[in-house]
């Protein structure tokens, strides 16, 4: 599958999330108190240190280097991670990375207009 159609229509029919990094496409499923985001990175991206509500993700393709509270770990296809609420974290995401991320926050991302 190409980068553009990795996620099937059952996922890609959902609205895109407004994510502030070039080359990131995403599909947002909104729940009452949480959001699920399917993400596809077409470029390398560095995410600066930040914190928010809890986050859980599973790597579908590619690689991400996560630094959580000063501890760095590399996650690859099949790996999952968990970031507790208010933990400071940053990331280096490699081109081709794809994941599913659950945010324990109903308004982490807005729908892209």
- DSSP string over 30-71: E-SS-EEEEEEESS-EEEEEE--S-EEEEEEESEEEEEETTE
Predicted confidence at residue 25, as pLDDT, reads 93
Longest CA–CA span in the chain (Å) reads 38
Model pLDDT for residues 43-62, shown as the tens digit of each residue: 999 999 999 999 999 999 99
Distance (Å, whole) CA 44 – CA 47? 10
Of 38, 47, 42, 45, which Cα lies nearest the Cα of 68? 47
Where do the domains of the chain lie?
A: 13-103
Give residue 30's Cα distance to chain centre.
14
Third-level CATH fold of 13-103:
Jelly Rolls (2.60.120)
pLDDT in tens, 82-104: 999 999 999 999 999 999 999 99
């Amino acid at each position: 599958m190409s980068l553009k159609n990795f996620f099937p229509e059952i996922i890609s029919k959902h609205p895109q999330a407004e994510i502030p990094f070039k080359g990131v496409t995403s599909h947002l499923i909104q729940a009452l108190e949480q959001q699920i985001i399917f993400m596809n990175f077409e470029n390398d991206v560095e995410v600066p240190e930040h914190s928010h509500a809890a986050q859980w993700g599973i790597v579908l393709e590619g690689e991400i280097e996560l630094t959580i509270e000063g501890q760095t770990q590399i996650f690859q296809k099949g790996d999952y991670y968990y970031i507790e609420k208010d933990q400071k974290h940053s990331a280096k995401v490699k081109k081709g990375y794809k994941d599913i991320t659950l945010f324990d926050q109903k308004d982490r991302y807005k729908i892209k207009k």
